[in-house]
Structure 1
Amino acid sequence: MGSDVVLPDGGHVDGQTRAAVVSLLVEDGPLTATEIADRLGISAAGVRRHIDALTAAGDVETSSSGFGQRGRGRPAKWFQLTPTGRGKLRHAYDDLAGAAMRTIREIAGEEAVAAFARERVERIVADVEPVGETGSVSTTVNEIADALTSAGYSANTREVGTGMQICQHHCPVAHVASEFPELCEAETAVFTELLGTHVQRLATIANGDCACTTHVPIHAPPDAQPASVPQKKSSRKASR
């Protein structure tokens, strides 16, 4: 993950377990206590104890964006990191990167910052095939997510209604992006070009959200035929 986790006070074993919980929430959150328990190989009760401690410290909260209910019974409770919890992830070279970006802006102006941001994103997705070559929006969306994950963004995709969403659960440059929104804007622009359709950024970690979420509309193919509408039978009786 490339980050150190600052945790509430606790024993050595508790600290390791809470670090593991935080890592899972960074990479794949929101998650339920049962999912975390299954992945860590410990009891759900034990996970809830650590979740309670992290919640008390302000690092974890119940997800307001819930992903529904699995199976029967009570709806599952999903947990995610709070902005405070993410703020305790110390990202290497943040200060250096911020200083470098400020120098670029002072020497060469805003256009140079935007050009740098775009070049950075293009390097990340250099091996992603655009929709025109793959012929499938969903294929390109998944390739973008894989490229982002390789770059440290812990990204995945999900289908939502008539579209898909790219969810980046971690941002290695979040603190810098809060000062330089050009980094996020460049991502949106490059994603749009690769996908051949306008994408919408719904949330960003740089703005204090718990994940960067990009919505990608998927339109029906142009040769798709509309569903036929059955004709109503006339209620009038035939005249004799």
Structure 2
Amino acid sequence: MSSDNLEIYGWSPRAPADRILMTLKMQGALTSAQTGQKLGITGEAARQQLVKLSEDGLVDEERRSAGRGRPATYWHLTEKGQARFPDSHAALTVDLLRSVRDVLGQEALDTVIGAREASTQAQYEVAMAGCRSLRERVIKLAELRSAEGYMAAAEEDQEGGMLLIENHCPICAAATFCQGFCRAEKAIFENILGAGTRVERMEHIVKGGRRCTYRIRETG
């Protein structure tokens, strides 16, 4: 991913430090040389920025052995670094969800999630009306999800299917409190991508993954 492509994910970082944070968010752990290559700067310039970010507690380093020679130093976001990416009104959202459940019951909370699912699916169906192939639908879905803050991308996998990759979850606190949101979103994907399409979640942020990844393929 080139530095120009950072802007398609709903956040357009300009400061060098923010661009590095975005790159690590999107790509996972990288060496300083790899980080510099992604951003079009030297590895030393990237290393200097990474050291500053480490001093601020936003990134940390780990050593990885690659056989012979000295272990390589990889940099990754810390929990504090992850928190730089917005979780939409996290505390307020969780408080409201807890109040709905405690006052009105789990069934009422399920109704709220179902209403959100129906509304989101209707919006996606309108936006994807002109998409014909599975590839077109998944690419459009990634665009829609990115516009909502999920930093999503669509890729072809090695088995002829597609991958939907979401590098951020803007409702992570809500989804952690109630995983009905995650189940509902997967159901939306299955419905809008059409009959005969299988959606399998391979990675899950709520369960400790760096990102959410869905493998999508046609079954018939």
Normalising to structure 1: TM-score of the pair? 0.65
Matched residue, 1:137: 134
Residue 59 of structure 1 pairs with residue 56 of structure 2: no
Shift of 1:167: 0.6
- Pick closer, same or farther for the CA change 1:158–1:80 going to 2, 3 Å: farther
Matched residue, 2:189: 191
Q: Distance in 2 between matches of 1:107 and 1:40?
A: 50
Q: Distance in 2 between matches of 1:23 and 1:199?
A: 27
Q: How does 1:125-204 map to 2 (within 5 A)?
A: 125=121, 126-128=123-125, 134-162=131-159, 163-195=161-193, 196=195, 197-204=197-204
Contact 1:61–1:82 under 8 Å retained in 2? no
Matched residue, 2:109: 113
Q: Distance in 2 between matches of 1:217 and 1:78?
A: 33
Shift of 1:92: 4.6
SS at match of 2:170: coil
- Pick closer, same or farther for the CA change 1:132–1:91 going to 2, 3 Å: closer
Which residue identity lines up with residue 208 of structure 1 in the other structure? Answer: G
Which residue identity lines up with residue 179 of structure 2 in the other structure? Answer: P
SS at match of 1:199: strand
The structure richer in helix per residue is: 2
Percent of aligned positions that are identical: 23
Structure 1, gaps ≥5 residues long: 4-15, 65-75, 223-240
Matched residue, 2:209: 209
- Pick closer, same or farther for the CA change 1:89–1:147 going to 2, 3 Å: closer
- Pick closer, same or farther for the CA change 1:21–1:119 going to 2, 3 Å: farther
Normalising to structure 2: TM-score of the pair? 0.70
Structure 2, gaps ≥5 residues long: 1-8, 65-71
Q: Distance in 2 between matches of 1:124 and 1:37?
A: 38
Residues 20-40 of structure 1: CA deviation (Å, up to 9, x unaligned) = 3112333x3248556643665
Q: Distance in 2 between matches of 1:60 and 1:177?
A: 26
- Pick closer, same or farther for the CA change 1:188–1:96 going to 2, 3 Å: same
Q: Distance in 2 between matches of 1:20 and 1:31?
A: 14
Shift of 1:19: 2.6
Contact 1:149–1:155 under 8 Å retained in 2? yes
Q: Distance in 1 between matches of 2:117 and 2:128?
A: 17
Matched residue, 2:69: none
Q: RMSD over aligned Cα, in angstroms?
A: 3.5
Residues 103-130 of structure 1: CA deviation (Å, up to 9, x unaligned) = 1212333233233234334444513469
- Pick closer, same or farther for the CA change 1:147–1:115 going to 2, 3 Å: farther
Which residue identity lines up with residue 44 of structure 1 in the other structure? Answer: G
Corresponding residue pairs, total = 195
Matched residue, 1:19: 18
